Amino acid sequence: MPDASRPSPAPTPHRGARATRAKLVSLTVLANMTGLLIAIWVAKTLRSGHASDAAQTGWMFAYYGAMFVVAIVDAFLVDALLFGGSFRRKYLQGQDGRQLERQGDDEELAASFKTNGIGFPLVVVLCGGLTYLLFNFANGDFDTYHRTIGIHLSTLRNGDETERRAAVIELSVRRAPQVLPALEHALAQEGDTGGWAAWALGRFQDLPTKRPVVVPLVAAARSSDPRVRHEALIALGRLQHRPMAPYIQREVERERDAGQGIDPRLLYALGSIQVTSSVPLLQGLLHGADEQTQRLAAWALAQHRDQRGGRDAVDVLEARLPSASADVRCAIVHALGILADEASNVPLVRAYDDSPPDALAYVCPRITMSLSPDGAGDDDVELLRPERKFGMKIILAMGQMRATTSDVRDAVEPWLSELAHDPVALPEVREGSASLLAGIRGGRNDADAKTVDEALGLPAEP
């Protein structure tokens, strides 16, 4: 039987400090595991796309709330290990050195003289940063996903029409796996949302295979909603889906016959698809449409240079050149330069000779066109560049096609030689004519003629 009169043994030194640290370690491990499980569950739930906006707010509160709790617990453990728990003892337990001395805990008493030089709040911030990195690593950078994609997916499901349009614009430049199914679902809706979704899918030109984008757009191109059908056709043109060329042509004809302005994006689509069956339609627009449509028709015709039968576009452009307005003539000259048929040198020479000095000095403008449904945003293309004076545009176009056959050279070389020494001509035209003439002669007979570099006064290569 133990003797109750005998005093119990004195506490083992440091027992209190060790017990406190053991409890903090256990609490820290439990808090981190629980917080990580909550973070994984929240990320999985939000990525599934089934949470409403209200529920999503609650889930995000749980996500960051768990992160905050874990950071606080971790900070208490760091305070105990590095600073002897000075913050806990002083501000939570209200213990000072004399109390610790009466308790007989030498380790706690020694720790009381340590100074926490960086401060407990800073420890919390550092622990919070590490916790944030841990949670995001475990969840595949969920925070970035939610900020750039997840929140827009939720808006696309639950927002009003204006909010859905903004979400589609944001998602149009994202390439996460969740984006395509969401845009395809939006494409099935009527009205502006479906039209904007079609436009967004048309921006996915950088995919290794376009089939996941083309299939839903082809279905949308047969929609009874004219807005969805219209945008789907333009998107398929941008994606260069050639089987849709007849449908795009009919859409252009429908707008032309209705007497309304033709959407310039449809002409961009025809130029992107590049099927020679579009040439007759573009020829009609080049002669009978408004000036902007004529310029776009000229550009679209030039895109057929690599197609069998593309030579027909050259004849169409050359026939229209003499009677076109100034801006349309600029577009035709630009297009002939792209097509690069050397027989076009003669019509270009004639166009230069028939133009008065003020027309030759006229700066040919570019076309800046937005491909988005509302004509705004950052989805712009620039056509008919560079901007040059009309006289110089002609020289640049001739430089792209050169002159190799004897009959073309017989017509072009004397003209270039005269122009290179014409004091009335624009300085850049004189210089360009001399360079082009040197290139033609150098290409004609490399053994006898000067090289282009010599003609331009450039040093010979070593």
pLDDT at 336 over 70: yes
The rounded distance, in Å, linking the Cα atoms of 116 and 87 is 8
What is the rounded distance in angstroms from the CA atom of residue 234 to the CA atom of residue 171? Answer: 19
Residue (of 447, 393, 440) closest to 416 by Cα position? 440
- Give the CA distances from residue 317 to residues 68, 154, 245, 256, in Å, rounded to whole numbers and listed in that order: 69, 50, 21, 21
Here the tokens at position 271 are: 């130029």
Name the residue among 278, 273, 264, 275 with its Cα closest to residue 383: 264
User: What is the Cα–Cα distance from 403 to 410, expressed in whole angstroms?
Assistant: 9
Most confident of 42-56, 162-176, 235-249: 235-249
pLDDT at res. 117: 47
Residue 243 pLDDT exceeds 70: yes
145-174 average pLDDT score: 87
Structure tokens at 74: 């971790």
Indicate the pairing of strand 367-370 with strand 380-383.
Answer: antiparallel
Q: In the predicted model, what is the mean pLDDT of residues 348-377?
A: 94
- Answer whether the bond into residue 386 is a cis peptide, omega within 30°: yes
pLDDT value, residue 86: 66
Of 392, 399, 284, 282, nearest in space to 330 by CA: 392
> Is pLDDT larger for residue 348 or for residue 65?
348
User: In the 8-state DSSP scheme, what is residue 418?
Assistant: H
Share of the chain above pLDDT 90, in %: 52
> What is the reported pLDDT for 458?
39
Residue 121 one-letter amino acid: P
pLDDT score for 448? 39
**What element of type H or E holds 354?**
none
> What is the rounded CA–CA span in Å between residue 462 and residue 450?
17
Q: What is the per-residue pLDDT across 190-204, written as a single tens digit (0 to 9) for each?
A: 889 999 999 999 999
* Section 278-297 average pLDDT: 95
Q: State the Rg of the chain over Cα.
A: 37
Place of tokens 């600073």: 83
Please give the Cα distance from 321 to 439 (Å, whole number). 26
pLDDT tens by residue, 4-20: 555 555 444 455 567 77
Please answer whether residues 412 and 403 qualify as being in contact, where contact means their C-beta atoms are separated by less than 8 angstroms: yes
pLDDT at 26 over 80: yes
- Amino acid at the residue 284: G
CA distance linking residue 113 with residue 98, whole number of Å: 12
**Concatenated DSSP letters of 15-40:** HHHHHHHHHHHHHHHHHHHHHHHHHH
What type of residue sits at position 265?
A: R
CA distance 122 to 125: 5
3-state class (DSSP) for residue 228 = helix
Supply the DSSP string of 240-269, one letter for each residue: T-GGGHHHHHHHHHHHHHTTSPPPHHHHHH
In terms of pLDDT, which residue wins out, 76 or 215? 215
**Structure confidence by residue, pLDDT tens digits, 398-428:** 999 988 899 999 999 999 999 999 999 999 9
Burial class of residue 357, CB neighbours in 10 A (0-12, 13-18, 19+): exposed
Q: How many Cβ atoms from other residues are within 10 Å of residue 312's Cβ?
A: 15
- The runs of H, that is alpha helices, within 9-119 are 15-48, 53-83, 86-87, 97-103, 106-111
Query: What per-residue confidence (pLDDT) applies to 270?
Result: 96
- Of the given ranges (99-108, 128-137, 261-270, 363-372), which has the lowest mean pLDDT? 99-108
* Token pair belonging to 141: 């950078």
pLDDT band at 62 (very low <50, low <70, confident <90, very high): confident
Query: Using the 8-state DSSP alphabet, how is residue 368 labeled?
Result: E
The pLDDT of residue 282 is above 80: yes
Which residues sit opposite 370 in a β-bridge? Answer: 380
Cβ count near 32 (within 10 Å):
18
Question: Does residue 51 carry a pLDDT above 80?
Answer: no
Higher-confidence position of 314 and 48: 314
Query: Do the beta carbons of residue 303 and residue 268 sit within 8 Å?
Result: no
Q: Residue 52: what pLDDT?
A: 63
- Kindly report the pTM of this predicted structure: 0.75
Q: What is the mean pLDDT of the chain?
A: 84
